[in-house]
Amino acid sequence: MPEPTTQPTRYRFPTSLRARLAHAAGLGERKKALPTSTGERVGDGIYRYWPTVADRTSMPPSLALEREPTVHGPASGASVVPSFARTWDGRWFATIETGEGTDLYATGEIAGPLRRNGKRTRAWNSDLPGYTDADDALYQSHPWVLGVRADGTAFGVLADTTWECAIDLADGIEFCAKGGAYQVYVIERESPEDVLRGLAELTGTIQMPARWTLGYHQCRFSYEPDARVREVAREFRERSIPCDVIWMDIDYMDRYKIFTFDPEKFPDPKGLNDDLHNQHFRAVWMIDPGPGVENDYFVWEEGTERDAWCRTWDGEVFTGAVWPPECTFPDYTRADVCEWWAGLYKDFMATGVDGVWNDMNEPALVLGGAEGNYTMPSDARHRGGLLGLPPGPHAQYHNVYGFLMVRASLEGITRANPDKRPFLLTRANYLGGHRYAATWTGDNSATWNDLHWSITMTLNLGLSGQPFVGPDIGGFTGGRGTPEMMAKWWGLGAMLPFCRGHVEKGDVHKEPWAFGPEVEATIRRALERRYRLLPYFYTLFREAHESGLPVSRPVFFADPRDPALRDEDHAFLLGSDVLVLANDVEGETPHHKVPAGIWRAFEPVPGPAALSEDAAIPELRLRGGAIVPMGPTMQWHDEKPVDPLTLVVCLDADGRATGELYEDAGEGHGHTRGEFCRQRFTAAREGDAVVVRSEVVGGDWAPTERAIEVEVLTEQGVVRGAGRSGEPVRVSL
């Protein structure tokens, strides 16, 4: 990476949360308790509280919430009620007591275990490549905690503040935020799933993604020049390794200027995209927030003409070094700036770009090593106006800078390609930002800890409202790792919602074939598994789109009343039916806690070698009472029709099972007009056979005419049968 040649204005993040909390504790005698207003009920089991009525009237509009909720009356009947306090230096506290046996989760994007009891974290978007579980803040902010009581009932607490906010789970739940009073939302329901549905009622759900986005993505910082991009794409097809997407990092740009292409390395971006499309790949290209300061550069000149940039406290245009030596930064709190930014995507997308990656949008400047991280100064100025946002300092809008950027980017991408479903990935975001972009777990490292955190971070982000998430498979930084680590990482990563391999500049190659033929074979089989399960993944994303439930879920969702499952984080559920027993430990297979009941092993990929014998491949188990749909093995998401459709059946103790399949065009917006088919499959034991039937339960489409293969999992093994769609399929036992 080029070193910045000018020193930016720097703001040093405090690096010790312990020191900050100790300081706050020292102010305890000067902490003033405030009378809590009665509050309001704003939904079924959803309540809103604020410190005082006067404070409520002065609060800015919520960005986390999709819309202003409807008030149904006073907050009567709630058992979780926050208490408020403030200190003389402007810190506002909201405290919630939790009962004995309550386990706490979520808090967004933080490394470490799934269960968050006793942890102290901080909502302050921070660029920390090579992070560890000692870091209290990362790239995104989710001031939200999910609590699960001993009896399996659950609640969630949302501190609706964009300011820096400490989240202390050492003794109950305490939010401590700067910048003014804030509202607290409490959701109380019968199960963790119902609480997440309530969160979605407040913050919205993801858009239904295009089907190609659920395939495998290959990235590097950077594939350059364009001949190297073509070479990587050709290798995937020649080696028969499934892949749908190739990514372009910043080196495609002309001297790192956003919305430009290097005239020597990428002279014909449309031609490159056309070539990728002809080989059935999609292309995702990077856009950062800060244009370089340079005359005759249209983005900088247009932004300057519009006075679009953030300014310092004394009114000067703020500049800082990112990849260009000097950048300016759009003020995304302004409606006119967002409109201009959205318009920049028209010509960019016209080159055949399929998806966009917004990076460095904390915003990140230079990395300070041992000194900490650097971003825009907290006293820099935003002028507001968008969505009724007031003018304010960067400290107020830092946590939503990336959120507002991707909101504007999504508008531009959608406007440029109105007939396509947009795909946008972001590094920085805020609670509710799943409405605009998918995400990943940032610049992780090639370590066994990071491999394990691929599970826990994906799960806790899902529990914070973001279902479309996954890690950089193989580790972004930190070297090669070991062949065992890489095989296990791809085996695991192929079962996570967002599936992308990535590595930083100057590091070793980490394409699937870079680790030798044995590891390559394991990765190929792991990705073939994913592609066979695409019908199930796509159905789960439809569920996430409708309900807000995550695609990957903690094992305790299978039985929230079982305390033994509360800290199981070497395994996870896909939806409610598939249990993934991951191999994320060096040299051994972890001991997994499996929920009570029937959970039978199944293998999606047929072949002469049983994958259960490959220690890198997670074991999959199907819940008793479930039916999972699968398609054929494919090299890309629509290489062939889903014909035959395979239904894997695991009967419950009563000899019954159910499952669903959602299908639409995989692209475009016809699904919003009823152009889809949702089928429900039922299986029942009838004498010495299992009979599988189907019915349409949603959509205007008729079921696809095709062959149906049924695999019934029994104690003795797999029993198979076949038939046609629309007809009962009888499988003799």
Q: What is the CATH number of the domain that holds 180?
A: 2.60.40.1760
516 and 565 part of one domain: no
Per-residue confidence at 88, pLDDT binned at 50, 70, 90?
A: confident
Task: Report the amino acid identity of residue 396.
Answer: Q
Count of structural domains within the chain: 3
602 and 513 part of one domain: no
Q: Is 171 a catalytic residue?
A: no
**Both tokens of residue 666?**
């995989």
533 and 586 part of one domain: no
Which residue among the candidates 174, 249, 362, 663 is catalytic per the annotation? 362
Residue 52: the pLDDT is 81
The answer to whether 403 and 363 have CB atoms below 8 angstroms apart is: no
The answer to whether 175 and 143 have CB atoms below 8 angstroms apart is: yes
* 233-277 tens-digit pLDDT: 999 999 999 999 999 999 999 999 999 999 999 999 999 999 999
The verdict on residue 25 lying in a domain is no
Mean pLDDT of 22-46: 70
In 3D, which of 444, 441, 415 has the Cα closest to residue 426? 441
SS3 call for 90: coil
Residue 9: the pLDDT is 32
In 3D, which of 534, 523, 566, 572 has the Cα closest to residue 550? 572
The verdict on residue 1 lying in a domain is no
* 344-382 tens-digit pLDDT: 999 999 999 999 999 999 999 974 333 345 899 999 999
Residue finishing a domain among 539, 561, 577: 539
Range in 157-171, 234-248, 476-490, 670-684 the model is least confident about: 476-490
567 and 468 part of one domain: no
Per-residue confidence at 84, pLDDT binned at 50, 70, 90?
A: very high
531 and 487 part of one domain: yes
Q: How would you classify the pairing of strands 245-248 and 217-218? A: parallel
Residue 616: pLDDT above 90? no
Task: Tell how far CA 157 is from the center of its chain.
Answer: 20
- Measured CA to CA, the distance from residue 150 to residue 167 in angstroms comes to 22
The verdict on residue 611 lying in a domain is yes
- Measured CA to CA, the distance from residue 223 to residue 400 in angstroms comes to 30
- Going by the DSSP 8-state scheme, the letter that residue 334 receives in this structure is S
Which residue among the candidates 103, 251, 262, 443 is catalytic per the annotation? 443
Rg (CA), the chain: 25
SS3 call for 105: strand
Residue 8: the pLDDT is 31
The verdict on residue 361 lying in a domain is yes
Portion of the chain with pLDDT greater than 70, in percent: 93
**For position 333, which CATH number holds?**
3.20.20.80
- Inter-helix orientation angle 298-305/335-343, to 10°: 160
The verdict on residue 13 lying in a domain is no
SS3 call for 53: helix
* 389-443 tens-digit pLDDT: 999 999 999 999 999 999 999 999 999 999 999 999 999 999 999 999 999 999 9
The answer to whether 440 and 426 have CB atoms below 8 angstroms apart is: no
Which residue among the candidates 359, 504, 663, 664 is catalytic per the annotation? 359
Residue finishing a domain among 149, 174, 203: 203
- Measured CA to CA, the distance from residue 384 to residue 377 in angstroms comes to 17
Residue 531: the pLDDT is 98
Alpha helical stretches, state H, 623-708: none
Query: In angstroms, what CA-CA distances link 239 with 248, 486, 610, 708?
Result: 21, 18, 21, 29
Per-residue confidence at 313, pLDDT binned at 50, 70, 90?
A: very high
43 and 174 part of one domain: yes
Residue finishing a domain among 539, 565, 581: 539
Residue 38: the pLDDT is 72
**Both tokens of residue 379?**
């006293």
The answer to whether 511 and 527 have CB atoms below 8 angstroms apart is: no
**For position 592, which CATH number holds?**
2.60.40.1180
Q: Is 443 a catalytic residue?
A: yes
Residue 723: pLDDT above 60? yes
- Measured CA to CA, the distance from residue 681 to residue 356 in angstroms comes to 37
401 and 535 part of one domain: yes
Structural domain span for residue 557: 552-732
Per-residue confidence at 223, pLDDT binned at 50, 70, 90?
A: very high
Mean pLDDT of 71-79: 89
The verdict on residue 12 lying in a domain is no
The overall longest dimension of the chain from CA atoms, in Å, is: 82
The verdict on residue 579 lying in a domain is yes
186 and 318 part of one domain: no
112 and 154 part of one domain: yes
Place of tokens 């000899």: 655
346 and 310 part of one domain: yes
Average pLDDT along the chain? 92
* 700-717 tens-digit pLDDT: 999 999 999 999 999 999
Q: Return all residues near 719 (Cβ < 8 A) that are at least 6 apart.
A: 690, 711, 712, 731, 732, 733
Model's pTM, two decimal places?
0.94
Query: In angstroms, what CA-CA distances link 606 with 54, 97, 603, 688?
Result: 65, 52, 7, 26
* 237-248 tens-digit pLDDT: 999 999 999 999
558 and 495 part of one domain: no
519 and 584 part of one domain: no
Range in 22-31, 59-68, 650-659 the model is least confident about: 22-31
The verdict on residue 344 lying in a domain is yes
Please, what's the b/e burial string for 117-141 (b: 16 or more CB within 10 A of its CB; e: otherwise)? bebbbbbbbbbbebbeeebbbbbbb
**Both tokens of residue 447?**
């370590």
For the beta sheet containing 729-732, the strands, ordered from the edge strand earlier in sequence to the opposite edge, are 717-724, 707-714, 645-650, 626-630, 656-664, 676-686, 689-698, 729-732
